[in-house]
């Protein structure tokens, strides 16, 4: 089990004792439904959706079809890649959703390539025509429904304290941002321009993985750097994406990756630095409105961030290493975020529902509640 402190999350803001328990026993324990500026997606199509989908091809077409993608045990990138392979077209989406969950989100597909699609863990429904594709960030937020199992304390004290804090929590990046625990380390090597060590971190390191994955990583380690012929399990999707582009040059293989995948590594490292910096400010009882996500244009005016990058042996200029491939200028990010529409639906097992604006992570709230 990966710990939050591995990703720079070093402080709680609530004093109430942790209720314990887990929230990932079953995929159905963690439900995420994307909310755009017009409404809410749903993992279960309504009767109106079903009727509309049945009559969809009688409607006057537009350039794109928007559909709700419902998935479980898939990252968004892997699910989108599967749909792209089926449709033979580029798929647009607004944001990334959790892997160990049942999630619903809107995607866009060129109308000329679209057809109904359903597999065991991926399905499309709620079709609608549009003249525009979906792009990253084109959503309002997400609604979550979470079941906590094997709790040892009631949630009353936590809910009361959260209410006193006006339902605000630290806006840390959650563990989903960090993949199998090495994503941000890969990102650091990329920022430093050390492509071979980035590849070695990606391909030969992992945490709590199946035997087949560990065996494949050992084979890669033993064969290094002659790794081009090593066969990987189908489920090692990110690693397979890299090897498919590797022809002897580690740098070239990285630069040939889909931009969204390459950016995950760099952004994960920026997220780790943000978490570390925010943790320090909370520990020192500071209440910043924003904290820098560091980049070549962001963070130099913050003494805490400058000190952190010095310890990391990274400069702000290093974030220009992949400037043409990945936007890493940095930005200001809210230090705290409000939890909206928080409800305790059941006490046995504890079932809660709440909504967060885009870019904020449910696991941060759950971390405060459980205090693992």
Domains of the chain: 9-23+149-170+340-370 (no CATH), 36-141 (3.30.70.3160), 172-334 (no CATH)
pLDDT at 11: 87
Number of neighbours of residue 18 by Cβ within 10 angstroms: 17
pLDDT at 278: 96
Kindly report, residue by residue over 322-369, the tens digit of the pLDDT: 767 776 888 999 999 999 999 999 999 999 999 999 999 999 999 999
The pairing of strands 102-110 and 30-35 is parallel
Is residue 49 over pLDDT 90? no
Chain centre distance of CA 174: 8
pLDDT at 323: 66
Question: Confidence class of residue 198 from pLDDT cuts 50, 70 and 90?
Answer: very high
Kindly report, residue by residue over 226-254, the tens digit of the pLDDT: 998 899 999 899 999 999 999 999 999 99
- Quote the CA–CA distance of 360 and 123 in Å, as a whole number: 25
User: 78: closest CA among 326, 269, 260, 328?
Assistant: 260
Query: Count H helices, E strands: the chain?
Result: 11, 12
Output the pTM of the full model. 0.89
- Quote the CA–CA distance of 219 and 216 in Å, as a whole number: 5
pLDDT at 3: 64
Is residue 1 over pLDDT 50? no
**Is 11 buried (19+), middle (13-18) or exposed (0-12) by CB count in 10 A?**
middle
Quote the mean pLDDT of the chain.
92
Kindly report, residue by residue over 108-164, the tens digit of the pLDDT: 999 999 999 999 999 999 999 999 999 999 999 999 999 999 999 999 999 999 999
Q: Check if the beta carbon of residue 122 is closer than 8 Å to that of residue 82.
A: yes
For residues 303-326, average pLDDT: 89
Which residues in 63-73 are b (16+ Cβ under 10 Å) and which e?
Answer: ebbbbbbbbbe
Question: Which of the two residues, 64 and 297, has the higher pLDDT score?
Answer: 64
């Amino acid at each position: 089990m990966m710990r939050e402190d591995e990703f720079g999350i070093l402080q709680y803001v609530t004093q109430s004792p942790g209720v314990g328990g887990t929230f990932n026993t079953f995929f159905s324990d963690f439900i995420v439904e994307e909310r755009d500026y017009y409404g809410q997606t749903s993992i279960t199509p309504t009767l109106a959706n079903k009727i509309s989908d049945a009559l969809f091809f009688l409607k006057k077409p537009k350039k794109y079809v928007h559909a709700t993608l419902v998935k479980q045990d898939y990252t968004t990138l892997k699910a989108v890649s599967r749909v792209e392979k089926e449709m033979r077209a580029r798929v647009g989406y607004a944001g990334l959703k959790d892997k160990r969950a049942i999630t619903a989100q809107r995607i866009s597909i060129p109308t000329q390539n679209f057809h109904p699609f359903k597999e065991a863990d991926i399905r499309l429904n709620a079709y609608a025509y549009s003249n525009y594709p979906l792009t990253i960030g084109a959503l309002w937020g997400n609604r979550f429904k979470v079941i906590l199992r094997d709790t040892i304390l009631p949630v009353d004290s936590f809910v009361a304290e959260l209410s006193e804090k006006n339902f605000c929590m630290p806006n840390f990046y959650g563990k989903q941002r960090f993949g199998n625990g090495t994503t941000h380390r890969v990102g650091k090597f990329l920022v430093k321009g050390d492509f071979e060590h980035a590849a070695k971190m990606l391909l030969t390191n992992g945490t709590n993985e199946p035997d087949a994955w560990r065996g494949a990583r050992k084979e890669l380690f033993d064969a290094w750097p002659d790794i081009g012929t090593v066969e990987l399990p189908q489920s090692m999707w990110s690693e397979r994406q890299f090897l498919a582009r590797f022809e002897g040059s580690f740098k070239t293989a990285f630069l040939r990756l889909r931009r969204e995948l390459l950016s995950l590594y760099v952004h994960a490292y920026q997220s780790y630095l943000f978490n570390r910096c925010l943790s320090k400010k909370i520990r020192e009882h500071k209440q910043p409105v924003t904290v820098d996500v560091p980049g070549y244009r962001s963070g130099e005016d913050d003494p805490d961030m400058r000190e952190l990058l010095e310890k990391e042996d990274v400069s702000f200029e290093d974030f220009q290493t992949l400037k043409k491939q990945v936007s890493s200028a940095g930005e200001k990010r809210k230090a705290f975020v409000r939890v909206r529409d928080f409800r305790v639906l059941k006490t046995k097992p504890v079932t809660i529902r709440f909504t967060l604006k885009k870019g904020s992570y449910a696991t941060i709230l759950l971390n405060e509640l459980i205090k693992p």
